């Protein structure tokens, strides 16, 4: 059983878990200064998204994952600077469409803090940068080197290059109506570095993880006033469908194929994804 000591520390005191109720006292010259309650409606959307994610990260770090999980990477903790830059730069307003990924990949978000965050795309197109730390325990074949990582995550490269093409090289055009968010913020691996998906978990640990991630996703959907969730792969689609059915939110759930090269018959992913966007009448939000 994994010990809590395996978790990476979250070290960003400047980001309270709930920005709407944060209170602190500072003693100076025998006086007490109390930070007043800030009405939620005047807190920026990006700050509230970050608060949701920080709270979720804190919940998940206390899950004791059983065998075969040996390593837990949470890039929202150790890559907070670049992740926060992604959120504050591209999630400043409500969004019609939410692309929903599953969880971080070893050469994407685990390195850059950005969903599907292939290093070159994140640095050169999205113009995201920042210092990236390390999880406390690293798997030898899945070392975190941040923006110095020389491995290219194919899934991330495929996803972002599709919209780079459709949006005529302008990332702002993608984010004008859409946003990309991961259902689960942590990557799980066995002793050999094999990726373990949330769907592979069993019993209480899966229930606890799903419950926390579902709650956060509902908060994100409500805050952003999302009308369409586009699951990137079947797992994300199914989690979104379950949430919408449970909450009754008036949101349509659709799906595009996951861009992983391991998926059978996925060599022409770009064309398959475009076909789905046309089928859903969503191409107008991205292409000229």
Report how far residue 180's alpha carbon sits from residue 227's, in angstroms, rounded to the nearest whole number: 14
Question: What are the two backbone dihedrals, phi and then psi, of residue 208, each rounded to the nearest 5 degrees?
Answer: -65, -45
How many residues can be counted in the chain?
Answer: 288
Nearest to 113 by CA among 69, 77, 65: 77
3-state secondary structure of 32: strand
Report how far residue 75's alpha carbon sits from residue 10's, in angstroms, rounded to the nearest whole number: 10
For 169, counting Cβ atoms within 10 Å of its Cβ (0-12 exposed, 13-18 middle, 19+ buried), the class is exposed
pLDDT for 160 beyond 80: yes
Q: What percent of the chain has pLDDT over 70?
A: 85
Report how far residue 12's alpha carbon sits from residue 47's, in angstroms, rounded to the nearest whole number: 13
Q: Which residue has the higher pLDDT, 213 or 266?
A: 213
Nearest to 273 by CA among 261, 287, 255: 255
In order of start, what are the domains of the chain with their CATH numbers? 4-285 (3.40.470.10)
For 46, counting Cβ atoms within 10 Å of its Cβ (0-12 exposed, 13-18 middle, 19+ buried), the class is middle
Residue 180 contacts residue 115 (beta carbons within 8 Å): yes
pLDDT of residue 41: 62
Report how far residue 236's alpha carbon sits from residue 254's, in angstroms, rounded to the nearest whole number: 10
Rg (C-alpha) for the chain, rounded Å, is 19
3-state secondary structure of 33: strand
Q: What percent of the chain has pLDDT over 90?
A: 81
DSSP single-letter state for residue 123: I
pLDDT for 198 beyond 60: yes
**Lowest mean pLDDT across 19-28, 70-79, 85-94, 117-126:** 19-28
User: Per-residue pLDDT averaged across 48-57, rounded?
Assistant: 97
pLDDT of residue 264: 77
Q: Helices 203-224 and 234-247 sit at what angle, rounded to 10 degrees?
A: 70
How many degrees, rounded to 5, is the angle at CA 207 between CA 206 and CA 208?
A: 90
Report how far residue 49's alpha carbon sits from residue 268's, in angstroms, rounded to the nearest whole number: 34
């Amino acid at each position: 059983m994994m010990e809590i000591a395996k978790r990476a520390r979250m070290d960003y005191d400047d980001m309270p878990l709930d920005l709407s109720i944060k209170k602190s006292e500072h003693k100076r010259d025998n006086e007490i200064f109390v930070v007043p309650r800030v009405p939620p409606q005047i807190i920026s959307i990006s700050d509230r998204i970050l608060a949701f994610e920080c709270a979720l990260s804190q919940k998940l770090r206390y899950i004791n994952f059983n065998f075969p999980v040996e390593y837990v990477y949470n890039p929202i903790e150790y890559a907070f600077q670049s992740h926060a830059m992604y959120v504050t730069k591209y999630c400043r307003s409500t969004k019609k469409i939410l692309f929903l990924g599953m969880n971080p990949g070893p050469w994407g978000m685990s390195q850059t803090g950005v969903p599907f965050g292939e290093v070159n795309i994140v640095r050169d197109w999205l113009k995201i940068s920042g210092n990236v730390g390390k999880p406390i325990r690293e798997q030898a074949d899945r070392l975190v080197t941040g923006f110095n990582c020389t491995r290219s995550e194919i899934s991330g490269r495929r996803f972002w290059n599709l919209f780079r093409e459709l949006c005529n090289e302008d990332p702002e055009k993608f984010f004008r109506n859409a946003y990309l968010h991961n259902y689960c913020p942590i990557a799980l691996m066995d002793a050999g570095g094999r990726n373990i998906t949330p769907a592979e978990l069993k019993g209480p640990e899966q229930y606890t993880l799903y419950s926390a991630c579902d709650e956060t996703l509902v908060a994100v959907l409500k805050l952003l006033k999302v009308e369409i969730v586009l699951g990137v792969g079947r797992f994300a689609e199914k989690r979104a469908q379950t949430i919408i059915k449970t909450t009754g939110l008036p949101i349509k759930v659709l799906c595009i194929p996951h861009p992983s090269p391991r998926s059978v018959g996925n060599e022409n992913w770009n064309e398959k994804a475009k076909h789905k966007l046309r089928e859903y009448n969503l191409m107008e939000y991205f292409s000229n």
